[in-house]
Amino acid sequence: MASFNDILANVQAAIPQLTNTSAGSVYQRIIKAFSDVIDTVRTEIGNTVTTIQSYVRQNRYGKAKYYEDAAKAFQYGDNLEFDENYQPYYPTIDTTKQIVKQASADISTSTVEIGGEDYPVSTLSLKVAAQDENGQLIPLTDEQKQAFDTYMKNFEIPGILLNKYSLAGNVIKFATMNCVYSPQYDQATIASGVVAAMEQFRDSMSFNSAFYPNHLEQYVRSNVPGVVDFYLAGGQIQTDTGWQPFTESVIIPAGYFNYETDFEKNITYVSGN
């Protein structure tokens, strides 16, 4: 009907003498015939675009997006079926069972020495995370991870090792967290806003991206009214090997992070002049 209404409006604007509003009038019947054809063509074009996009997405085997899409399509508790081309699929798509909320595939390259020569070796890793009821990222449970690993075997390329991880968020802390605020603001209000902004920054960070302290500093300054300056120093991240210091940026092994428990108690507030 969108095409019919568009054509009708244009015809009536061009020929205002056509005042018969009956759907059975000659000119409206002619418009209906043309608009039906146009709507059919539009529908076919839209279906074709969808088919092409789906085909391209599903057949980019080995690319990061291929693994990420497959991971997010995982439905915990459901069994896969296979079509005539042995492509895995779920007969019923149930988004409430799609527990993988974030996924990121990475390729890292190292070297191995064979016969005195160095040869590059590529490793493909897939990091995934679920969400709790508050929307915060969490690792899959052992049972969920086991089911996910079994599911992903249907999408792995023979001969290419895919390492799959779902880790607890790395903890980040700072030796110094100073906030200077305008004296016209109440400290309790400022403190509440700073903590909320820090949590929002954490939850809005792109999965598997690097953490930059200055980005967090800028975020707090820009989003908390009354904050004159916000300064972080002495950054550390907890990994499998213990606490590691960082300055300008740090790669987060788990793909996401959390602040240390009661981090808000370690922020120093100073009223500016």
**pLDDT tens digits, one per residue of 42-54:** 778 877 777 656 6
Phi and psi, residue 40, nearest 5°: -65, -45
| 200 neighbors 134 (Cβ within 8 angstroms) | no
Residue 56 binned pLDDT confidence (cut-offs 50, 70, 90): low
pLDDT tens sequence across 116-164: 777 777 778 999 999 999 889 999 999 999 999 999 999 988 777 889 9
Partnered with residue 110 across adjacent β-strands are 121
The rounded Cα 272 to chain-centroid distance in angstroms is 39
Closest alpha carbon to 153 in 78, 101, 102, 88: 88
User: Does residue 11 surpass a pLDDT of 80?
Assistant: no
Query: pLDDT value at position 27?
Result: 67
Closest CA to 74 of 11, 149, 168: 149
* pLDDT surpasses 90 at 96: yes
| pLDDT single digits (tens) 206-241 | 999 999 999 999 999 999 999 999 999 999 999 888
Residue 74 has pLDDT above 90, yes or no: yes
* pLDDT at 52 (0 to 100): 58
pLDDT digits (tens, 9 = 90+) for 179-190: 999 999 999 999
Mean pLDDT of 168-187: 95
Give the per-residue pLDDT at 221. Answer: 96
* Stated pTM of the model: 0.70
> Residue 76 pLDDT more than 90?
yes
pLDDT at residue 1 above 70? no
**What is the pLDDT at residue 62?**
58
DSSP percent split of the chain into helix, strand, coil, nearest 5: 35, 30, 35
Mean pLDDT of the chain: 86
Q: Directed axis angle between helix 26-58 and helix 64-72, to 10°?
A: 110
Q: Which residues contact 127 (CB under 8 A, 6 or more apart)?
A: 102, 103, 104, 105, 106, 165, 166, 167, 207, 208, 254, 255
CA count, 13 A, side-chain hemisphere, 182: 8
> DSSP label at 24?
T
Rg (CA), the chain: 28
For 91, which DSSP code?
Answer: S
User: Is the model's pLDDT at 95 over the cut of 90?
Assistant: yes
Mean pLDDT of 3-31: 72
Report CA 210 to chain centroid distance, whole Å: 15
Residue 59 clears pLDDT 60, i.e. is over it:
no
